[in-house]
Structure 1
Amino acid sequence: MDLLLLTLGLSCMLIGIMGCFLPLLPGPGLSWLGILILYSTAAIPANYWILSITLIITALLTVLDYIIPSKGTKYFGGSKYGIWGTNIGLVIGIFIPVPFGFLIGPFLGALIGELLFDSTNHNRALKAAAGSFIGFLASTFIQFLICILFLGLFISIVWQHRAGLF
Structure 2
Amino acid sequence: MDVLGWILVIALFAVGMAGAVYPILPGVVAIYLALFVYGWFFTFQHYTVWFWVIQTLILLVLFVADYAVNAWGVKRLGGSKASIWGSTIGLIIGPFVIPAFGLIIGPFIGALIGEMLAGSGPGKAMKVGAGSVLGLFSSIVVKVILQLAMIVIFFIWVF
Relative to the length of structure 2, the TM-score reads 0.85
- The residue aligned with 1:82 is 83
Q: Which amino acid aligns with 1:78?
A: G
Matched, 1:125 2:125: yes
Q: Is the Cα–Cα contact under 8 Å of residues 23 and 92 in structure 2 kept in the other structure?
A: no
Q: Is the Cα–Cα contact under 8 Å of residues 16 and 30 in structure 2 kept in the other structure?
A: yes
1:132-161, CA deviations, whole angstroms, 9 ceiling, x for partnerless residues?
Answer: 111111111111111211221222234x2x
Label 1:92 to 1:44 Cα distance change in 2 as closer, same or farther (>3 A): closer
Q: Which amino acid aligns with 2:102?
A: G
What is the distance in 1 between the residues matched to 2:43 and 2:81?
52
In structure 2, stretches of 5+ residues that fail to align are none
Structure possessing the higher radius of gyration over alpha carbons: 1
SS of structure 1 residue aligned to 2:100: coil
Q: Which amino acid aligns with 1:62?
A: F
Q: CA deviation at 1:8?
A: 1.7
Label 1:84 to 1:22 Cα distance change in 2 as closer, same or farther (>3 A): closer
Q: Which amino acid aligns with 1:29?
A: V
What is the distance in 2 between the residues matched to 1:74 and 1:20?
22
In structure 1, stretches of 5+ residues that fail to align are 161-166
- The residue aligned with 1:12 is 12
What is the distance in 1 between the residues matched to 2:57 and 2:98?
33
Identity between Structure 1 and Structure 2 (%): 35
Superposed CA RMSD in Å reads 2.1
Q: Aligned pairs, how many? A: 158
Q: CA deviation at 1:43?
A: 4.7
